[in-house]
Amino acid sequence: MFKKTNMQFNQLKRAFLSSGYEISLSQGRAIERRALDGVYFPKRHELGAIMGLLAPDEYKIYINRSLSLEDRAVTLLHELIHLKDETLPEQTVEDLGISLWSTMTDSQRGFLEFLVRA
Ligand SMILES: [Zn+2]
């Protein structure tokens, strides 16, 4: 059952800026190791490659640095939704991320891309 939310980009941005979380661009293997004792399931490609992980115990958002800039930004958006509402199930977070990204402005996308630039 899809849980309705009215989560907006600006709410996610505010939540992140006041959270104290730090973004870490890391190798997939390092994120896999970190995911073993993580609180949240990592975001993965359909093929299984790890994309990102929220680690609340160390206030870090891990993003796989081998992804394209756009995929890194989309992955960050996904992890920010987890950060904003940790009760949402994985599939809801995934769906919400995809639908939010499709409605965001270039400058909103640019903000996320700026945060995950290599
Ligand atoms: Zn997730």
Three-state SS string across 10-71, please?
HHHHHHHHCCCCEEEEECHHHHHHHHCCCCCCCEECCCCCEEEEEEHHHCEEEEECCCCHHH
Q: In the prediction, which pLDDT does 67 show?
A: 95
Q: 104-112: which pairs have CB atoms within 8 A and are 24 or more residues apart?
A: 104/9, 108/9, 109/73, 111/13, 112/73, 112/76, 112/77
Q: In the prediction, which pLDDT does 5 show?
A: 59
CATH of the domain at 24: 3.30.2010
- For residue 34, the enclosing domain spans 9-115
Tell me, in angstroms, the distance from the centre of ligand 1 to residue 82's CA: 7
Q: Which regions in the chain score pLDDT beneath 50?
A: 1
In a domain, 32, yes or no: yes
**What residues flank ion ligand 1 with Cβ within 5 A?**
43, 93
In a domain, 3, yes or no: no
Number of domains forming the structure of the chain: 1
Give the predicted TM-score (pTM) of the model.
0.90
Tell me, in angstroms, the distance from the centre of ligand 1 to residue 73's CA: 14
Instruction: Supply 31's token pair.
Output: 């994120």
Q: What is the mean pLDDT of the chain?
A: 90
In a domain, 2, yes or no: no
